[in-house]
Structure 1
Amino acid sequence: MQYNLLVVLGATATGKTSLAVNLAKEFDGEIISADSRQIYKGMDLGTGKDIEEYVVDGMPIPYHLIDIAEAGYKYNVFEFQRDFVKAFEDISARKKMPVVCGGTGMYLEAVLKGYKLIAVPKDEAFRLEMEKKEMSELEAILRSYKEVHNTSDLETKKRAIRAIEIERYYAANPEIDMEYPSMNPLLVGIKFDRESRRDRISLRLKQRLKEGMIEEVQGLLKSGVSAENLIYYGLEYKFLTQYVTGQITYDEMFSGLEIAIHQFAKRQMTWFRKMERSGSDIKWLDGYMPLDEKIAQVKAWFSV
């Protein structure tokens, strides 16, 4: 079966967007974002949308699943699967090439592996019961259902309870199954050595702070998004909200956020290696390779 999907993945700050939009131009394609936070309106600098990059040689490259939900909303992987399928089928029906771009491993794997596609209903009584438990108890319950690869499920009690709620629902409804479009993806990863990746992350963090990332968070808070909801999104929004609301100093914010992003990038690479161990064939590009050489290499892989 000929490839009918291009996927560009990698850790944060590896240049995924630039490569993906240029490949979309080469293959007459459109971008589908696989980033768990770029779906939110107004969360631009903190999520690295880089919308200005979606123009190549004066040609706008269409994109999907960016700016589709209001900040404060709790979008989830099941909604992503649903929206991904709609975008994939729409792009394919118009004889264009879907080009997925993102670093959210769970989102990527959920669509590539065709995980059960269902919006799990909320169980308020169960949530109240779980709220009484300590975090260690919640972690033990979640691990009793599955091996926990997505450590973000354990960042807060709210996330842990929702993760347990989902697994509990699946266990009680084993008949759940959904149809999924037939996909034959070419997976392309971009990677840098550890030190280069760290340098790129630190440089980008400083640049985005200069560009107004603090003001972005202030604006979101003024618009009515609660501090609790912003902190829920993690990384930039967690630390910047704590700084803006006076909980930590600027230096504490910067150093804490820098460390958190480095750790996040490491987890992303761990997830991609897990995908490879489970059968995903990711073809890696050296991040330092010039853009035109990256494009030529992808085209060569695509034609094999």
Structure 2
Amino acid sequence: MKKTVIAIMGPTAVGKTALSIEIAKRFQGEIISGDSMQIYKGMDIGTAKIKKEEMQGIRHHMIDLKQPNEEFSVADFQSYVQMYIDEVSNRNKLPIIVGGSGLYIQAGLYNYNFSNQKRDESITKRLENRLNEEGSLSLYNELKEIDPNQAEKVHPNNHRRVIRALEIYESTGMTMTEYQQKQALDSPYHLVLIGLEMEREKLYERINHRVELMIEEGLVQEVKELFEKGYENCQSMKAIGYKEFIPYFKGEQSLEESITILKRNSRRFAKRQFTWFKNKMKINWYDMTPPNGEEKIHKILDDLAGILKNK
């Protein structure tokens, strides 16, 4: 019999964390973070990592596993998530995955086989040489021409992912987007997918307010400490909430500009998250627009009770 897994998805700041705690309390659950940035130690405020007192005694997994200078791929994420699902289920607890980018969540819940397409070292080496000679923007612009969907999901300075996408294209003739779409969406789990949405203007207000709270809690100091430790060019520092402040520390823009850009990038990311989940996965959606959020949490809990009883 397939293990049951709850997944709570939706744009940033929509209320996934609060819902996950209520589900875990009611159905004997444990929470697995689906945010690939929360695995990094010392990156707490910018990733909206749950605080100890907010956990209400619920066990959380996939948090603080790596140092900020360590890389963490989609395949790594899949491996860890599936390991924790097994571990939680084997203790007769309900695994609840919360948050994260669409590709990472999809990879964790479905049978994406990342080892199918072996690396072609000769192509990789040639692309790395081009990177050194032409710079990252040249390769990124090429990816935008070949596979604009993938380019939108990759930061231009994330050389590893840009090169991998170009290598897939050269070795298979398929774009990374096409390659991922060919993966069989056959899950090894009995999935209950919950999506939270909110009227856009209200969601954007919440996102802006969350950024302001992060600044009050010390986000700038958190990023400064990582910057001063030499992590500027690490994969982890390409995350929203961190990359926006690098120009400020270099004297290239004001703090106010950095905060404004962070709010804008956070809103854009929320829009991309929502679009991905709407288009890629069959999710039960709930509108959390205030003042009906509390009422919707009770409805979700009741709906889940019926689903879990009949599984």
User: TM-score when scaled to structure 2?
Assistant: 0.82
Taking every aligned residue pair, what percent have the same amino acid on both sides? 27
Match in the other structure for 1:207 = 213
Does the aligned pair in 1 maintain the 2:197–2:286 contact within 8 Å?
yes
Would the alpha carbon gap of residues 195 and 290 (structure 1) be closer, same or farther in structure 2, given more than 3 Å must change?
Answer: closer
- Which residues in structure 2 correspond to 1:183-222 (within 5 Å)? 183-222=189-228
1:82-101 alignment to 2 at 5 Å?
A: 82-101=79-98
> Aligned AA for 1:98?
P
**What's the CA shift string for 1:213-267, capped at 9, x where partnerless?**
0111122233x24222278423211112221232211121111111111111111
Q: Residue 4 of structure 1 aligns to a residue in which SS?
A: strand
AA aligned to 2:300 is Q
In 2, Cα distance between equivalents of 1:272 and 1:21: 22
1:76 to 68, 73, 77: 73
1:228 pairs, out of 233, 252, 262, with 233
Question: Scaled by the length of structure 1, what TM-score is found?
Answer: 0.84
Query: Which residue matches 1:148?
Result: 149
Q: Is the 8 A contact 1:54 1:62 kept in 2?
A: no
2:47 match: secondary structure: coil
2:106 to 87, 104, 109: 109
- How far does residue 163 in structure 1 lie from its aligned partner after superposition? 3.0
- The DSSP-based 3-state class of the residue aligned with 1:209 is helix
**C-alpha separation in 1, matches of 2:247 and 2:77:** 28
Give the aligned CA root-mean-square deviation in angstroms: 3.0
Aligned-residue offset at 1:17:
1.0
Deviation track 1:253-285 (CA, whole Å, cap 9, x = no partner) reads 111111111111111111111114xxx233324
Aligned to 1:182: 188
Instruction: Report SS of the residue matched to 2:234.
Output: helix
CA contact (8 A) 1:29 1:98 kept: yes
Q: Is the 8 A contact 1:10 1:268 kept in 2?
A: yes
**Letter paired with 2:24:** A
SS in 1 for 2:241: helix
| Aligned partner of 2:261 among 256, 261, 270 | 256
Quote the offset at 1:148 in angstroms.
2.5
Q: Return the alpha-carbon distance in structure 2 between the equivalents of residues 104 and 274 of structure 1.
A: 13
Q: Which residue type is aligned with residue 100 of structure 2? A: G
d(CA) in 1 for partners of 2:47, 2:120: 27
Cα distance change of structure 1 residues 153 and 209 upon mapping to structure 2, 3 Å threshold: same
In structure 1, runs of 5+ residues without a counterpart are none
The residue that corresponds to 2:23 in the other structure is 23
Aligned to 1:185, the other structure's residue is in SS state strand
Q: Which ranges of structure 2 fall in alignment gaps of 5 or more residues?
A: none
Counterpart CA distance in 2 for 1:115 and 1:103 is 17
What is the CA distance between 1:152 and its match in structure 2? Answer: 2.7
1:13 aligns with 2:13: yes
Structure 2 counterpart of 1:248, which letter?
Q
Task: State the 1:143 CA deviation.
Answer: 6.3
Give distance in 1, aligned partners of 2:58 and 2:49.
Answer: 14
Shift in Å, 1:127: 3.6
* Preserved CA contact (<8 Å) 2:127 2:163: yes
Mapped contact 1:120–1:169 kept (Cα < 8 A)? no
CA distance in 2, matches of 1:213, 1:286: 27
* Secondary structure class of the residue paired with 2:285: strand
Partner of 2:242 in structure 1?
Answer: 237
Partner of 1:303: 306
- The number of residues matched between the two structures is 292
SS of residue matched to 1:100: strand
Equivalent residue letter for 1:286:
M
Structure 2 CA distance for partners of 1:45 and 1:94, relative to 1, 3 Å: same
Offset at 1:26? 1.1
Partner SS state of residue 39, structure 1: coil
| Distance (whole Å) between structure 2 residues aligned to residue 290 and residue 170 of structure 1 | 47
Aligned 8 A contact 2:45 2:219 in 1: yes
Q: Distance in 2 between matches of 1:116 and 1:230?
A: 23
SS for the counterpart of 1:184 is: strand
Asked whether the 8 Å contact 2:128–2:163 carries over to 1, the reply is no
For 2:45, give the aligned amino acid: L
Change in Cα spacing, 1:295 to 1:72, as seen in structure 2 (3 Å) is farther
